[in-house]
Amino acid sequence: MSVFRPNWLMGRPIAHRGLHDAGAGVIENTGRAAEAAIAQGYSIECDVQMSVDGEAFVFHDFTLERLTTATGRVDQTSAAALAAVTLRGGDRIMTLEAFCRLINRRVPLICEIKSRFDGDLRLAERVAAVTTAYAGPMALKSFDPAIMAHLHKNRRHLRIRYTPLGMVAQASYDDPGCDWSHLDDDAKFALANFLHYRETVPDFLSYCVDDMPDAVPFLCRSGIGIPVMAWTVRTEEHLAAARQWADQMIFEGGVLGG
């Protein structure tokens, strides 16, 4: 199957959760972080989590404590309550719909669907619905093969036939406390070695820059023709690795200058 690779997908550097700067009060995954990225012409990567009543919100963590003045699990909080939560920089958590309206097709958006690797596909379907209604350039990705396999299999039904679908990956899944830490060794081995490829058939790969060079991104890029994004580029060493081993980078901080 051919890879769907629109020109915009790898056309410009991608600001990790927007162009954020906590020291200056600009918190990740907020409207201000998005506007800062747009002002410099960067694409934007964002994360999405689901409220208890099924709405998609632009937020990275599974819990509220790190970034907000509230506490509790995002997926146990209603959409109305999440919309009222104040982030530490003073902004409010945005729905994915509102985030798309703010971006308004000005730059590409790469949306990471967060997952507990528990088989729950409701967030993926809600994100697909928002994607369908949005006229701008938008790509979807996840660490969870079940999510991406579902979206790939149901492209036509979900009306996302022309939306790039990608996998987020790294070389090892043995790190404790992560979203996949409860998986058994066989499942972690399959993730590390991309054994889900026949089901996910990704249009692009988003790969950990700390693990480059590595066989998976090298073979995807050189053997199959799958474009590779390197995440998250924060240092000059990261920048050099991304330029050598990837087609584009997801970055944060001042590593690109300016």
pLDDT, tens digit, 9 for 90 and up, residues 225-244: 999 999 999 999 999 999 99
Q: What is the mean pLDDT of residues 82-88?
A: 95
Q: What is the pLDDT of residue 176?
A: 87
Q: Which of 218, 127, 162 is nearest to 2 (CA)?
A: 162
Which one-letter amino acid corresponds to residue 35?
A: E
Give the pLDDT band of residue 2 (cuts 50, 70, 90): low
DSSP 120-141: --HHHHHHHHHHHH--S-EEEE
Alpha carbons 160 and 26: distance in angstroms, whole number: 32
pLDDT for residue 258 is more than 70: no
Taken in order 157, 141, 58, 35, the sign of the CA dihedral is negative
Q: Which of 43, 47, 46, 41 is nearest to 14 (CA)?
A: 43
Report the DSSP beta bridge partners of residue 166. Answer: 141, 204
Report percent pLDDT > 90 for the chain: 95
Q: What is the pLDDT of residue 257?
A: 82
Residue 133 CB partners (closer than 8 Å, separation 6+): 97
Q: Which of 83, 85, 150, 84 is nearest to 115 (CA)?
A: 150
Render pLDDT for 168-215 as a digit per residue (tens, 0 to 9): 999 999 988 889 999 999 999 999 999 999 999 999 999 999 999 999
Reading the block at residue 159, the tokens are 């009306």
Question: By three-state DSSP, how is residue 152 classified?
Answer: helix
Report percent pLDDT > 70 for the chain: 99
Question: By three-state DSSP, how is residue 102 classified?
Answer: helix
Q: What are phi and psi of 122, to 5 degrees?
A: -65, -40
Give the pLDDT band of residue 89 (cuts 50, 70, 90): confident
Q: Which fold has domain 14-249?
A: TIM Barrel (3.20.20)
| Domain extents in the chain | 14-249
CA distances in angstroms from 107 to 35, 124, 126, listed in the order given: 10, 22, 22
